[in-house]
Structure 1
Amino acid sequence: MPVAYLPRLIDDLLVRRLAHHPAVLLVGPRATGKTTTAARLARSEFRLDERAQAVAIEADPDAVLRGLAEPVLIDEWQIVPDVLRAVKRAVDADPRPGRFVITGSVRGDVDVPTWPGTGRLLRVAMFGLTVGEIRGSLPPVSLLDRLAEHGIEPLTTPPTEQLDLRGYAELAAEGGFPHPVLRLPGDERGPWLESYLDQLLTRDVAMLATHRDPQLLRRYLESCALNTAGITDHRTIYDTAGVAKVTGEAYDRLLRNLLVIDTLPAWWTNRIKRLVRVPKRYLVDPSLALATLRVGIPGLMKDGDLLGRIIDTFVVAQLRAQLATCETQPRLYHLRQEKGQHEIDVIVEYGGGRVFAIEIKAGSAPTRDDARHLAWLRTELGDRFIGGAVLHTGPRAFRLGDDIVAAPIATLWS
Structure 2
Amino acid sequence: MVRREICEELLESAAEYPVVTVLGPRQAGKTTLVRMAFPDKPYVSLEDPDVHLAAGADPRGFLRSVGEGAILDEVQRLPALLSYLQGMVDELPTPGRFVLTGSHQPELHRAVAQTLAGRTAVLTLWPFSVGELRHYKPTWDAFELIVKGCFPRLHQENLSPRRFFNGYLQTYVERDVRALVRLRDLSLFQRFLVLLAGRVGQVVNHSSLANDVGVSATTIRNWLNVLQASYAVFEVPPYFQNIRKRVVKSPKLYFTDVGLCAFLLGIHSEQQAFRDPLRGNLYENLVVTEVIKGALNRGVRPEVYFFRDSHGNEVDLVVRHEGTLIPVEIKSSETFSPAFLKGIERFRGLGAGPTSPGFVLYNGDRTFEVGGTRVRNPLHVEHLWQTLTAPPRPG
Matched, 1:322 2:294: yes
**For the structure 1 residues 301 and 335, does the alpha-carbon distance in structure 2 shift closer, same or farther, using more than 3 Å as the test?**
same
Which stretch shows the higher mean deviation, 192-201 or 373-382?
A: 373-382
State the one-letter code of the partner of 2:311. Answer: K
State the one-letter code of the partner of 1:124. Answer: L
Which stretch shows the higher mean deviation, 246-255 or 84-93?
A: 84-93
Matched, 1:359 2:329: yes
Secondary structure of the residue aligned to 2:15 is: helix
**1:17 matched residue in structure 2:** 13
Matched residues in 1 for 2:36 and 2:264: separation? 32
The question of whether the paired residues in 2 share the 8 Å contact of 1:70 and 1:98 is answered with: no
**For the structure 1 residues 328 and 289, does the alpha-carbon distance in structure 2 shift closer, same or farther, using more than 3 Å as the test?**
closer
**1:33 matched residue in structure 2:** 29
Alignment equivalent of 2:165, drawn from 176, 193, 199: 193
Which stretch shows the higher mean deviation, 88-97 or 308-317?
A: 88-97
The question of whether the paired residues in 2 share the 8 Å contact of 1:330 and 1:351 is answered with: no
Superposed, 1:251-400 pairs within 5 Å as 251-297=223-269, 298-304=271-277, 306-326=278-298, 330-340=302-312, 342-352=313-323, 354-381=324-351, 384-400=354-370
**2:87 matched residue in structure 1:** 89
Secondary structure of the residue aligned to 2:128 is: coil
Matched residues in 1 for 2:301 and 2:220: separation? 33
Matched residues in 2 for 1:265 and 1:271: separation? 15
Superposed, 1:166-205 pairs within 5 Å as 167-185=141-159, 188-205=160-177
Which stretch shows the higher mean deviation, 233-242 or 315-324?
A: 233-242
Residue 382 of structure 1 and its aligned partner are, at CA, apart by 8.5
Aligned length: 378
Alignment equivalent of 1:238, drawn from 210, 221, 224: 210
Matched residues in 2 for 1:83 and 1:327: separation? 25
Residue 282 of structure 1 and its aligned partner are, at CA, apart by 0.7
The question of whether the paired residues in 1 share the 8 Å contact of 2:146 and 2:273 is answered with: no
The question of whether the paired residues in 1 share the 8 Å contact of 2:127 and 2:151 is answered with: yes
Which stretch shows the higher mean deviation, 70-79 or 102-111?
A: 102-111
Matched residues in 2 for 1:291 and 1:213: separation? 21
Matched residues in 1 for 2:300 and 2:162: separation? 38
Residue 349 of structure 1 and its aligned partner are, at CA, apart by 0.3
**For the structure 1 residues 368 and 71, does the alpha-carbon distance in structure 2 shift closer, same or farther, using more than 3 Å as the test?**
farther
CA RMSD of aligned residues (A): 2.3
**1:404 matched residue in structure 2:** 373
Matched residues in 2 for 1:131 and 1:327: separation? 18
Matched residues in 1 for 2:173 and 2:184: separation? 9
Matched residues in 2 for 1:19 and 1:327: separation? 14
Q: Which has the higher relative contact order, 1 or 2, with Cα contacts under 8 A spaced 6 or more apart?
A: 1
State the one-letter code of the partner of 2:317. Answer: V
Superposed, 1:94-109 pairs within 5 Å as 94-107=92-105, 109=107
**For the structure 1 residues 299 and 382, does the alpha-carbon distance in structure 2 shift closer, same or farther, using more than 3 Å as the test?**
closer
**1:134 matched residue in structure 2:** 133
**For the structure 1 residues 281 and 378, does the alpha-carbon distance in structure 2 shift closer, same or farther, using more than 3 Å as the test?**
same
For structure 2, the 5+ residue unaligned runs are: 384-395
Matched residues in 1 for 2:89 and 2:185: separation? 40
The question of whether the paired residues in 2 share the 8 Å contact of 1:355 and 1:387 is answered with: no
Matched residues in 1 for 2:45 and 2:32: separation? 12
The question of whether the paired residues in 2 share the 8 Å contact of 1:41 and 1:71 is answered with: no
**For the structure 1 residues 171 and 373, does the alpha-carbon distance in structure 2 shift closer, same or farther, using more than 3 Å as the test?**
same
- % of aligned pairs identical? 26
Matched residues in 1 for 2:307 and 2:282: separation? 19
State the one-letter code of the partner of 1:82. Answer: A
State the TM-score, normalized to the length of structure 2. Answer: 0.89
Matched residues in 2 for 1:112 and 1:386: separation? 37
**1:141 matched residue in structure 2:** none
Secondary structure of the residue aligned to 1:339 is: coil
State the one-letter code of the partner of 2:339. Answer: D
For structure 1, the 5+ residue unaligned runs are: 138-159
Residue 383 of structure 1 and its aligned partner are, at CA, apart by 7.6
**For the structure 1 residues 77 and 328, does the alpha-carbon distance in structure 2 shift closer, same or farther, using more than 3 Å as the test?**
closer
The question of whether the paired residues in 1 share the 8 Å contact of 2:6 and 2:299 is answered with: no
**2:115 matched residue in structure 1:** 116
State the TM-score, normalized to the length of structure 1. Answer: 0.85
Superposed, 1:51-62 pairs within 5 Å as 51-62=49-60
State the one-letter code of the partner of 1:170. Answer: E
**For the structure 1 residues 289 and 176, does the alpha-carbon distance in structure 2 shift closer, same or farther, using more than 3 Å as the test?**
same
**1:152 matched residue in structure 2:** none
**For the structure 1 residues 120 and 235, does the alpha-carbon distance in structure 2 shift closer, same or farther, using more than 3 Å as the test?**
farther
The question of whether the paired residues in 1 share the 8 Å contact of 2:71 and 2:98 is answered with: yes
Which stretch shows the higher mean deviation, 50-59 or 6-15?
A: 50-59
